[in-house]
């Protein structure tokens, strides 16, 4: 078309000094709010993984759910949530990981992934990689095979990808 392909980065808003001074926050809500941009993001992720033999899509609470669920639907896969501590009702595996201050615990149901299953892990954004590393540990504790790790946004300057060495990492937008 005359306007060319939709540029996803045009729908990310920069918010200086959020949540604290010195941090430039990449806000994805304009992209979610625009029907064409949201659809393009999901369709491009689906195109990247179609034919990859993904069996289950794992989404990371909470912004990861927004992308993981429609992607699972398009790929014809089930959806599995990684949730913050204390939210899942059945038997869980859990992993504790470091935050800037203190720690956090994430959980997954023990029957959510079968040994050898080909899993795609999805989150909205890769920063330090701490959150997605914890999700990866959960999948691997259950014997799942991590076939891919997908993000809408990667903050390359935080070097999160270095923690994901040896894995297939894909991001639609890089800063
Ligand atoms: C944000 C984001 C990623 C994570 C990235 O989630 O959605 O999950 O941080 O940071 P990291 O790579 O340094 O771990 P947040 O914890 O703010 O939770 P939310 O999705 O519930 O807003
Ligand atoms: N934007 C959104 N989420 C985030 C960011 C950011 O810049 N950094 C860590 N989580």
Tell me which of 36, 83, 96, 100 is the catalytic residue: 100
What is the set of domains in the chain, with CATH numbers? 53-174 (3.40.50.2020)
Task: Tell me which residue has its CA closest to atom 8 in ligand 2.
Answer: 127
> What integer pLDDT is reported at residue 99 of this predicted model?
86
Q: Kindly state if the Cβ of 127 falls inside 6 Å of ligand 2.
A: yes
The model's pLDDT over 98-127, given as tens digits with 9 standing for 90+, comes to 987 899 999 999 999 999 999 999 999 999
34: nearest Cα among 3, 6, 61, 5? 6
CA angle 32, 149, 100 (to 5 degrees): 80
Ligand 2 center from residue 83 Cα (angstroms): 18
The model's pLDDT over 148-168, given as tens digits with 9 standing for 90+, comes to 999 999 999 999 999 999 999
Count how many residues are written for the chain: 175
At residue 8 the predicted structure's pLDDT band, cuts being 50, 70 and 90, is very high
49: nearest Cα among 158, 166, 146? 146
Tell me which of 63, 118, 137, 163 is the catalytic residue: 63
Q: Is the pLDDT of residue 169 over 90?
A: yes
């Amino acid at each position: 078309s005359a306007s060319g392909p939709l540029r996803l980065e045009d729908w990310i808003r920069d918010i200086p000094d959020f949540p604290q001074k010195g941090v430039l926050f990449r806000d994805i809500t304009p992209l979610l709010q625009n029907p064409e941009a949201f659809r393009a993001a999901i369709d491009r992720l689906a195109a990247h993984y179609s034919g990859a033999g993904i069996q289950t899509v794992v989404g990371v609470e909470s912004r990861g759910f927004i992308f993981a669920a429609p992607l699972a639907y398009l790929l014809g896969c089930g959806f599995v949530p990684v949730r913050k501590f204390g939210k899942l009702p059945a038997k869980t595996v859990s992993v504790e990981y470091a935050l800037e201050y203190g720690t956090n615990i994430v959980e997954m149901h023990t029957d959510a992934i079968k040994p050898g299953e080909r899993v795609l892990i999805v989150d909205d954004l890769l920063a330090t990689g701490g959150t997605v590393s914890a999700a990866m540990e959960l999948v691997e504790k259950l014997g799942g095979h991590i076939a891919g790790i997908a993000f809408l946004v990667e903050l390359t300057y935080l070097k999160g990808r270095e923690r994901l060495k040896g894995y297939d990492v894909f991001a639609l937008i890089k800063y």
